[in-house]
Amino acid sequence: MNNLHYIDHKLLDFETLNEIISTGKKLKLSIEAIEKIENCRKYLDKKIKNNTSPIYGINTGFGSLCNVKINNENLQLLQENLVMSHACGTGSEVPQDIVKTMLLLKIQSLSYGHSGVQLKTVERLIDFYNNNIIPVVYTQGSLGASGDLAPLAHLSLPLIGKGEVYYKNKKTSGEAILKKFNWEKIELKSKEGLALLNGTQFMSAYGVHLILKSLKLSYMADLIGTLSLEAFDGRISPFNELIHFIRPHNGQIKTAKRIKEFLEGSELISQYKEHVQDPYSFRCMPQVHGASKDALEYCKKVFLTEINSVTDNPNIFIEADEIISGGNFHGQPLALAFDFLSIAMSEIGSISERRTFQLVSGQRNLPPFLVKNPGLNSGFMIPQYTAASIVSQNKQFATPASVDSIVSSNGQEDHVSMGANGATKAKQIVDNIETILAIELLNASQALHFRLPVKTSPFLESFLKIFRSEVPFVENDTVLSLEIKKTISFLQNINIDVEEIFG
């Protein structure tokens, strides 16, 4: 098996990203990428030597200091000062797996040859990635406007022997890690600090992480929702393809088809039903889950475009002999996508909690709160409270971040995206969905016990068997927090076929 991924100019897709991340592939620059990086740097050095006029970010100050010309002998100090002064992150630390994705995406963006960095700078970032040297980055500090300035400054500090990193699960200084590997610090040349700090890799890395996780949770919502449908003695008619072909939203059709496939061979779904309709949380799964799937597809497209883009500033175009200062670092496309993702995933949690509520309500010959001796036992009364609490929290987190803007840099940066706040809020929501679905699975599996000896489909029975090997049926009251944690762990570790996630 080839454990190497070449950084070239083929488009990165989510399947490739998933493979790189999940299999621990190492990175290597392609010959084409090396040539583009080196040619761009040579062009920039020549341009500075032959041009005395100010070029933003190369021989000027930054932000509202853009009109201050810097002497050539101070250009290296200018770039180091930029990295150090912008490392103003606060709050909790960004999870290490997301920081590693930031490294990957920064390497990818710099490899296109429009940023003017040295080859050795990119190769050092690759060294960090391949050796699992993970810079300490903080969640707070980015406005998602001139790129993710503060987070990317912390990502870049170890290049110059500053900041902190994790190596083999221990935190150490940037200076110490250079000594350990016998590396010299990178002497940043003109434009390099700005190339490292301008960019959307903080937001993009969160986007990659959340899209991959949300796609898996979307599948699990269909599966767990189907278990709940069976436990509630629901009807199959709402999943008939004839309904969905006359309202042909892609996500809706896909959800109905998947649920019908899950139900193939089920005794429960085939038995006689006294009721003629089910509550919306069961009957409308194709419409609700499907709408969230379609929203995810939109967000996936936005992030796919972003991770294959150059997002620093200014941009260098050798063939056109142009250095252009623009706004590719602005996070507005991502900010809107994070808000859409947040709303879409919140709805997955909202409908899941309603199914849990129905299961514990003592309807359709299920015991109240899904326990044999209600009264003496409270059973599954309070997990529904927990799910309801989290659903309400998600509603608060889903308030759009992108509608906000605060003027910064003395008025030069007068509109910002707040996409970084959108990213961290979206992560809290998606993590919450995992918990809400775990609570539904705990309830659905408990309820299905009371349907025996009638069984669900062979596929769902095999899933339940695996689940029951880790989380047993609850006979009498126990500490359900532990059962919820075990169920969350089960969802995190279960393997799903890649085709099911991306198909």
Quote the pLDDT of residue 71: 67
Map out the domains of the chain as residue ranges.
4-199, 206-502
* Residue 460, burial from CB neighbour count under 10 angstroms (0-12, 13-18, 19+): buried
Quote the pLDDT of residue 58: 73
Which residues are CB-contacts of 3 (< 8 A; sequence separation ≥ 6)? Answer: 23, 24, 25, 26
Please tell me the distance from the alpha carbon of residue 273 to that of residue 270, in angstroms, as a whole number.
9
* Residue 336, burial from CB neighbour count under 10 angstroms (0-12, 13-18, 19+): buried
Quote the pLDDT of residue 57: 64
Please tell me the distance from the alpha carbon of residue 65 to that of residue 384, in angstroms, as a whole number.
55
Can you list the positions of beta strands (E) in 122-186?
A: 134-135, 138-140, 164-167, 170-173
Per-residue pLDDT of the chain (503 residues; tens, 9 = 90+): 579 999 988 889 999 999 999 999 999 999 999 999 999 999 999 988 887 777 766 766 555 555 566 666 677 888 899 999 999 999 999 999 999 999 999 999 999 999 999 999 999 999 999 999 999 999 999 999 888 999 999 999 999 999 999 999 999 999 999 999 999 999 999 889 999 999 999 999 999 999 999 999 999 999 999 999 999 999 999 999 999 999 999 999 999 999 999 999 999 999 999 999 999 999 999 999 999 999 999 999 999 999 999 999 999 999 999 999 899 999 999 999 999 999 999 999 999 999 999 999 999 999 999 988 877 888 899 999 999 999 999 999 999 999 998 888 777 778 889 999 999 999 999 999 999 999 999 999 999 999 999 999 999 999 999 999 999 999 988 999 999 999 999 999 998 888 788 87
Instruction: Answer yes or no: are the C-beta atoms of 337 and 345 closer than 8 Å.
Output: no
Same fold, 4-199 and 206-502: no
The residues annotated with a catalytic role in the active site are 56
Tokens of 491: 């969802």
Its pTM stands at 0.95
Fold of 206-502: Fumarase C; Chain A, domain 2 (1.20.200)
Quote the pLDDT of residue 407: 87
Fold of 4-199: Fumarase C; Chain B, domain 1 (1.10.275)
Please tell me the distance from the alpha carbon of residue 251 to that of residue 273, in angstroms, as a whole number.
28
Instruction: Answer yes or no: are the C-beta atoms of 218 and 255 closer than 8 Å.
Output: no
